[in-house]
Amino acid sequence: MAEALRFLALPSNAGTHAAADTSSSVAVAGSPESARRLLTLSSPIGGTLAETYLHARRIADLRGTSALRFHPRCYHRPQGEGPNETWPALLAAVTDLDGSITGALRTWLARDGSGKAPLTTPRRAMGDLQSNAVRFGVAQDVIIAGEGIETVLSLKQLMPDMPMAAALSAAHLAGLKLPHSLRRLYIARDDDAAGDRASAKLVARAHDHGVEAIVLSPALDDFNDDLVLLGIDTLRSSIRTQLIPEDVDRFLR
C-alpha cells in the first residue's frame, strides 16, 4: 500500500480511506461469500466438460440440476508446496432450506472430462456446509438424502421428480436440517462404517421430528457404483423393493 501511494503521489492517510472503501468487496477465501462469487463466474453445465464427466458416470438425465455449474479454469491450490494450477471444474451450489447459497463444492476434472483431475485432492468444499446440502428439487413431503452428488444423481435417473439432497459427507448427512413439511425421509447410505453411523444418526433425528425414515442400501459401495457397474435395470429393481409402494407409483420411472 505504501509503495502504491508513493507511485500515485497520494498522501499517506489515503491508504486508510482506500482500505475502508474496498473492504466490503473482498471475500475471505473459503467463505460463503467467496463461494457465491465463484458460482457467479461459472456457467450452466450443458455442453461442457462437467456434462461429459457426469455422462461418464452414467448420469445422463440432467433435468432439475441447476445447482450444478461449470468453471473452465478453476484454481487449485496445493495443500503442501507447489504452484497453483487451473483445471476445469464441476461446481455445486450448497444451499440452506430457504435456497440461499451458503457454500460450494469444487470437483476438478481431467482436461477431457473423462474423470476427476489427477490431483491429490480433486474435490474440495468451501463455505458453510453444516446442516446444508446441494439440492435437486424443492423438498415437500418426501425426499432422498445422501452423501455424494453422483450418489443422489444416480437415483435421480430413476426418479426425476423426487426431490433429493447431497450433504457432501457422512458427517454433514448426519446433521442435515430437515424441512418442516417433511413426512418421509429416504437415506441413500454409502456401504461403509461412516455411512452406517451417519444413517443411524439421521434416522434418530428424523424420528425425533416425527418423520418416517427409511434407509436405502446399495448392492456395491454406493448407488453410483450400482448404476455404472450393474446397470440401470438392476438398480431399478433394487430400489423398487426398498421404496414404500405409494412412492413407487408416484416417483419410480
Look at residues 228, 211, 210 and name the one whose alpha carbon lies nearest to residue 219. Answer: 228
CA distances from 123 to 71, 110, 152, 219 (A): 14, 12, 17, 25
Q: Position 1: which residue type?
A: M
Strand pairing partners for 74?
A: 87
The C-alpha cell that represents 71 in the structure block? 468453471
pTM of the full structure: 0.86
pLDDT in tens, the chain (253 residues): 766 666 566 665 554 444 434 334 556 767 899 999 999 999 999 999 999 999 999 999 999 999 999 999 999 988 766 778 999 999 999 999 999 999 999 999 999 999 999 999 999 999 999 999 999 999 899 999 999 999 999 999 999 999 999 999 999 999 999 999 999 999 999 999 999 999 999 999 999 999 999 999 999 999 999 999 999 999 999 999 999 999 999 999 9
Distance CA 104, CA 102 (A): 7
For residue 60, the number of C-alpha atoms closer than 13 Å in the C-beta half-sphere is: 5
Residues 6+ apart with CB under 8 A from 198: 147, 170, 171, 173, 174, 189
Domains belonging to the chain, first-starting first, are 28-128 (3.90.980), 133-253 (3.40.1360.10)
